Amino acid sequence: MKTISIVNLKGGVGKTSTAISVAAALAERGKRVLLLDADHQCNLSLHLRADMDAPDVCTILDGEEPYYENLLQHTYLRGVDIVPGSLDLMAYDLGVLNGNPQRRAAIRDFAAALAEDDVYDYMLVDCPPAFSASCAATLYAADEVIIPTSIGQYEEWGVENLTRQIDGMLSVNPQLHLGGLLVTMWHNAPLVVQGEARMREAFPGRVFRTVIRRTDKVGESAYYRESVLDYSPTSAAARDYRKFVDEYFGGEANGEVKV
């Protein structure tokens, strides 16, 4: 199982939309995916109609449930399960977590137990827009990080800041590496086209070729609580997310063995 954290300290850049859409695209290719909602806003859980009264990610952080089976919920997306988020995540303190190795390792241990039993192919973690305790715990557990980002100067500064934080995490999680930057909400406007070129120049080789185009279908899909791939399979964003999964996961996502 590969654990991928979807992170950006900036809000509203498409992290949750990316988590749902990538999970849906992987499931279309027959992959088994677990979504972990590490955000107190719980957008991912609400969008995917999770049972919010069931045990959530805080149960993992508190080490209260030794059997992972009791934490996993099926979603309406075949092949995609979820561990829901909780508003209580706001109360977790980064300093306290860092000072408590057992808590810091809670999500990593949870992932290790799932990997040992080969329950999923991928665990995708949707992070809050902050370097919070839950975000740190997921980076401690992750193999890779995907940074969705819209285009703009603030966004570019945010990514610079985040890549420094990720480098800082390498001392506690040496296996962590940057999968790449995914440009979201792309549209054909001079600011976006020039900003994308700047982003590629600032982070050479780190920005995925595929960009996710802006379309209202993504926002509409939330009202219907469906992935955009189901809600509007031929929309620009749905097609882009499928293309992104092909680019990022390559043969891995199609069941081919990489040599």
Ligand X SMILES: Nc1ncnc2c1ncn2[C@@H]1O[C@H](COP(=O)(O)OP(=O)(O)OP(=O)(O)O)[C@@H](O)[C@H]1O
Using CB under 6 A, list all residues that contact ligand X: 11-17, 39, 41, 43, 129, 184-185, 212, 214-215, 218-219, 222, 237
Binds Mg ion (CB under 5 A): choice among 16, 75, 150, 221:
16
Query: Binders of Mg ion among 99-158, rule CB under 5 A?
Result: none
CA 134-249-240 angle, to 5 degrees, is 90
Nearest alpha-carbon partner for 6 in 173, 129, 124: 124
Amino acid letter at 176?
A: L
Q: Which does 182 bind (CB under 5 to 8 A by kind): ligand X, Mg ion, none?
A: none
Report the alpha-carbon distance of residue 44 to residue 35 in Å, rounded: 9
Please identify, using beta-carbon distances, which residue of 13 and 60 lies nearer to ligand X.
Answer: 13
Location of structure tokens 């680019």: 247
Binds Mg ion (CB under 5 A): choice among 10, 15, 213, 239:
15
Please identify, using beta-carbon distances, which residue of 9 and 103 lies nearer to Mg ion.
Answer: 9
Least Å distance, CB 138 to Mg ion, is 13
Q: Which does 139 bind (CB under 5 to 8 A by kind): Mg ion, ligand X, none?
A: none
Least Å distance, CB 99 to ligand X, is 27
Least Å distance, CB 12 to ligand X, is 4
Q: Which does 184 bind (CB under 5 to 8 A by kind): ligand X, Mg ion, none?
A: ligand X
Least Å distance, CB 144 to ligand X, is 18
Least Å distance, CB 33 to ligand X, is 17
Location of structure tokens 């590496």: 177
112: left (phi over 0), alpha (psi -120 to 50) or beta: alpha
Is residue 10 at the binding interface for Mg ion, with CB under 5 A as the rule? no
DSSP state, residue 256: P
Task: Indicate the SS3 state at residue 126.
Answer: strand
Nearest alpha-carbon partner for 125 in 97, 104, 145, 155: 145
DSSP state, residue 119: -
Nearest alpha-carbon partner for 136 in 3, 27, 5, 42: 5
Least Å distance, CB 148 to ligand X, is 6
Query: Binders of Mg ion among 24-43, rule CB under 5 A?
Result: 43
